[in-house]
Amino acid sequence: MTYSSSLSMGRRRFATRHQNVVNWGEQTRALGPVSNTVILVVLSCLLGLLYLTQVTKTNASGYKVDGYEKQYSQLQKEHDELQLSSARLQSLDRVADSKPAKELVSVAPSATVR
Amino acid sequence: MQKFSSRSFNNARLDLFYGLVMIVFAIFIVRLFYIQVIQHRYYANAALSGQYKEYEIPAERGIIVAHDGDTTVPIVLNEDKFTLFADPKYVKEPGKTAEDLVKITGGNKSEYEDKMKQKNRYAVLAKKLDESQSEQIKKLELKGIGLRTESIRTYPQGTLAAQILGFVNDEGKGTYGVEQALDSQLKGKAGELKAITDVRGVPLAANGDNVRKEAVQGKQTTLTIDLGMQRKVEDLLKDHLPAVRSSSGSVIVMDVNTGAVRAMANFPTYNPSEFYKVNDANVFNNAAVSSPLEVGSVMKTLTVAAGMNENVINANTTYADPGQWKIDDATVKNVEEDGGAATRSTPDILRYSLNTGATWVLMQLGGGKINEQGRNKWYDYLVNHYRFGQKTGIEQGYEAEGYVPGPNDGYGLNIQYANTTFGQGINITPIQFAAAFSATINGGKYYKPHLVEPDNGKPTVVNDATVRSEISEQMRAMHENSVAKNYTFLKRPGYHIGGKTGTAEITKPGGGYYDDRYNGTFVGYVGGDKPEYVIMVRINEPHVPGYAGTKAAAPLFAKVTDMLINNFSIQPSQ
């Protein structure tokens, strides 16, 4: 084998029949299946985390609402009790039996306004 | 060679370990598959039953308010009370527990102890405990003892307007009065909450399947009564009854121009907060709307109004009154001393309370005699104009319809119908009569009597032509003429006051009338330039010398009239 034939053999080593040795098309860069899987898993985890934080946040708000509702009920109860006490204190029987009412005296009219 | 054997042995152990791990994993996987897939429904339900809770959101019963001058004040409210109960299974020392409890509740120790030894799991020990008692019991931390909160009705005005209000029984049902009549709108509608909860029972807001339906609160109701007037009328009635030796009676004060009842008093009465202490259930009845009676001669006011409205008589008509009429097998006579044969006028029928005069009006309705035509016309007035024999629709439980005899049925129709013209043989409730009388003096409008302020603020006119307005005017003149000439003790200078007495015989259970038992009634009005209030008084079986209407009912009418003039700004006529 001559030196030139040896070189030729060396160049043809990568060449096959009916194929251009020089590739003129653009080369595309794509992620491999492993990378894709990893990214999907990470995204799923992030989504799951987001969901969990939102659920926790909503439930925490639920506790707040529950707290406010209890506070409202308590205030409503106090309002009702005060209203009841007020009504009892102003009841006609109680007012009539009160000390100031008993101390009232009848006064005959001294004149008539015309 | 030896070295090779040792490695081979180690590999075998590793294989064995690996195999065991795989078997355990396999068991786990199979078990998890069984639990999570095959038994999924069972465990999901079990979890849900622990987390999923259903609550009832109770509706607050609507409060009731009434007028107090220009403002309104609550007279029926709700209050939280506590029911003390025991679960005998967990009570270890019934004797000691009972002793501790009675110190707070004031109950009976042996009774508590017996209840705590029962076999059932729920024994009520005490009811209607207040907040401080419940706090004291909670502090004791007694095992097997619990407290349940209950919203109960409370009536801070005590006995005031008791029969108007009614009460709410232990089952939470409105009974008698407004509480019964408006029970559905007062009690509201309970809501519900279905939710996944945490371990403390707090609903988790994140669960999209939670269902919350808000409660519809009971409607607040405003009564037409004025508390001050109601109190005064109740006091006047209560003080008056012993003076006329009667045990019971009723008074209605109604706004002539709207049908609104401003005061409605009955005696005897009770405290609705302590309804369970009442022995005689009759006390619960609002007699003014649920106890019809033969009203007696007050009926003549309506008989004369009907005759005038039908143009068969007028205010100036005179007739020859024989002093008695023979009708069927009976005789209609006058009871008043000056009711003998004479030439009488229409106003005389009211002034002298002539039974024969009222009967004569019925004759005129029939064209000169009591006949089918007259009976039908009078029946039309009783039922369609004055609206007797049917409920008025006032907001009260157990309202009675009363009774109007049919014009064409039964024996002795003519005498029966003659009797109805002066208020016998016909049953009418005081509220029915007050409403009908109002219509004859207010220009002819029959207003639906009511105890609750209408939502639109406007009274309901049931019939705007009960009588013509000119007849109404003439009726007022005749009533005031009667007061001026016969009931002078009712006259108040500057005020328009008119009215009529009634003394009604009382029917025996087996038929006929008692000879010595009467009810006294009085219907009348008071006002400045025009009538403002109609007052209907009923005194049951007073024991006074003279006529029950004149001696027992009319004096109370006078007292109520004075009270209204002095306290409720009735301006004298110009």
The length of chain B in residues reads: 574
Cβ of residue A74 closer than 8 Å to a chain B Cβ = no
CB contacts, 8 Å: A80 with chain B:
77-79
Provide, as residue numbers in chain A, all residues whose Cβ is less than 8 Å from the Cβ of B269: none
pLDDT tens, B403-427? 999 998 777 899 999 999 999 999 9
Per-residue confidence band for B550, with pLDDT thresholds at 50, 70 and 90: very high
* CB < 8 Å from A in window 218-277 of B: 227-228, 231
Sorted by sequence, the CB contacts under 8 Å of residue B56 that are 6+ apart come out as B190, B191, B192
In angstroms, the CA B162 to CA B249 distance is 14
Per-residue pLDDT band at A110 (split at 50, 70, 90): low
Nearest Cα of chain B lies from the Cα of A16 at a distance, in angstroms, of: 48
Q: How far is A41 from chain B (nearest CA, A)?
A: 23
pLDDT at A66 over 70: yes
Range of weakest confidence among B208-212, B273-277, B454-458: B208-212
* Structure confidence at residue A15 as a pLDDT band (50, 70, 90): low
User: Is A58's Cβ below 8 Å from some Cβ in B?
Assistant: yes
Reported confidence tier of residue B510, pLDDT bands at 50, 70, 90: confident
Q: At what angle do helices B372-380 and B355-365 cross, to 10 degrees?
A: 100
CB nearest to B205's CB, from A62, A77, A93:
A62
Q: Is B154 on the interface with A (CB under 8 A)?
A: yes
Find the CB nearest A92 among B80, B204, B231.
Answer: B231
CA–CA min distance A86, chain B (Å): 9
The shares of helix, strand and coil residues in chain A, as percent rounded to the nearest 5, are 70, 0, 30
Q: What stretches of B22-173 adopt beta strand conformation (E)?
A: 52-57, 64-68, 71-86, 123-129, 145-154, 167-168
Query: Is residue B546 within 8 angstroms of chain A, CB to CB?
Result: no
Q: Give chain A positions within 8 Å (CB) of B75.
A: 87
- Closest-CA residue to B215 (of B109, B59, B328): B59
Q: According to the model, what pLDDT value does residue A62 have?
A: 85
Helix, strand, coil distribution of chain B in percent, nearest 5:
40, 25, 35
Contact between A62 and B203 using a beta-carbon 8 Å cutoff: yes
A67 to chain B, closest Cα gap in Å? 10
Measured in angstroms, the CA of B75 and the nearest CA of chain A are apart by 7
Number of Cβ pairs < 8 A linking chain A and chain B: 49
Of B157, B158, B204, the CB nearest to A59: B204
- What's chain B's average pLDDT? 92
Asked if the model's pLDDT at residue B509 lies above 50, the reply is yes
Q: Do A80 and B73 make contact, defined as CB atoms within 8 angstroms?
A: no
pLDDT score recorded for residue B4: 53
Residues of B with Cβ-Cβ distance to A68 under 8 angstroms: none
Q: B212 forms bridges with which residues in the sheet?
A: B193
CATH number for region B60-187 = 3.90.1310.10
| B374 vs B277: CA distance, rounded Å | 51
pLDDT for B12: 86
Average pLDDT over residues A22-44: 83
Please list every residue in chain A whose beta carbon sits closer than 8 Å to the beta carbon of residue B78. 80
Residue type, position B455, single letter: D
- B502: tokens are 């009634």
Residue A31 pLDDT greater than 90, yes or no: no
Q: What is the mean pLDDT of residues A7-22?
A: 59
Q: In this structure, what token pair is assigned to residue B322? A: 């024989």
In chain A, residues with a C-beta closer than 8 Å to the C-beta of B158 are 91, 93
In the structure encoding, which two tokens stand for residue B514, read together?
């008692």
Between positions 22 and 51 of A, the ones with CB within 8 A of B are none
CA pair distance B526, B565, nearest whole angstrom = 8
- The distance of A40 to chain B (nearest Cα, Å) reads 25
Res B3 pLDDT > 80: no
Residue B227: list chain A partners with CB under 8 A: 92
Of the given ranges (B152-161, B203-212, B442-451), which has the lowest mean pLDDT? B203-212
Q: Cβ separation of B74 and A93 shorter than 8 Å?
A: no
pLDDT at res. B399: 97
Contact B205 A88 (CB under 8 A): no
Which of B78, B80, B160 is facing A92, going by the closest CB pair? B160
Q: How near does any CA of chain A get to the CA of B34, in Å?
A: 26
Q: Do A66 and B74 touch (CB under 8 A)?
A: no
* Domain boundaries of chain B, sorted by first residue: 2-38, 60-187, 226-274+283-567
Contacts of B456 (CB under 8 A, 6+ apart): none
Task: Report the pLDDT averaged over residues B536-549.
Answer: 94
Count Cα atoms within 13 angstroms, Cβ side, for B2. 0
pLDDT reported for residue A1:
56
Each residue's pLDDT tens digit, B37-78: 999 999 988 888 888 888 888 899 999 999 998 899 999 999
Which residues of chain A have a CB within 8 Å of the CB of B157?
87, 91-93
Q: What is the ipTM of this complex?
A: 0.71
Which tops the pLDDT comparison, B422 or A20?
B422
Q: Does A64 touch chain B (CB under 8 A)?
A: no
Chain B contact probe: residue of A53, A78, A92 with most B CBs at under 10 A: A92
- What pLDDT is attached to residue B159? 94
Average pLDDT over residues A85-99: 83
- What are the pLDDT digits (tens) for B65-124? 999 988 999 999 999 999 999 999 999 889 999 999 999 999 889 999 999 988 888 999
Beta pairing class for B64-68 and B221-226 = parallel
Q: Where are the domains of chain A?
A: 66-98
Q: Could you tell me the pTM of the whole model?
A: 0.82
CB proximity list for B572: less than 8 A, separation 6 or greater: B493, B494, B495, B528
Nearest to A84 among B77, B159, B231 (CB): B77
pLDDT at site A114: 45
Cβ–Cβ below 8 Å for A62 and B74: no
- Nearest Cβ partner of B73 from A62, A65, A87? A87
Considering only residues B536 and B409, tell me which one the structure prediction assigns the higher pLDDT: B536
Cα(B282)–Cα(B159) distance, rounded to whole angstroms?
15
What is the rounded end-to-end Cα distance, in angstroms, of chain B?
A: 142
Question: Taking a C-beta distance cutoff of 8 angstroms, is the pair B332, B354 a contact?
Answer: no
Residue B217, chain A, CB below 8 Å: the answer is no
Contact residues on chain A for B203, CB-CB shorter than 8 A: 62, 66
How far is residue B376's CA from residue B405's CA, in Å, rounded to a whole number?
A: 11
Q: Do A92 and B204 touch (CB under 8 A)?
A: no
B48/B531: higher pLDDT: B531
Tell me: pLDDT of A23 over 80. Answer: no
- CA gap B79, B234 in Å, rounded: 26
- Architecture per CATH, B226-274+283-567: 3-Layer(aba) Sandwich (3.40)
Among residues of chain B, what percentage have pLDDT more than 70?
99
Q: Which residue of B has its CA nearest to A96?
A: B231
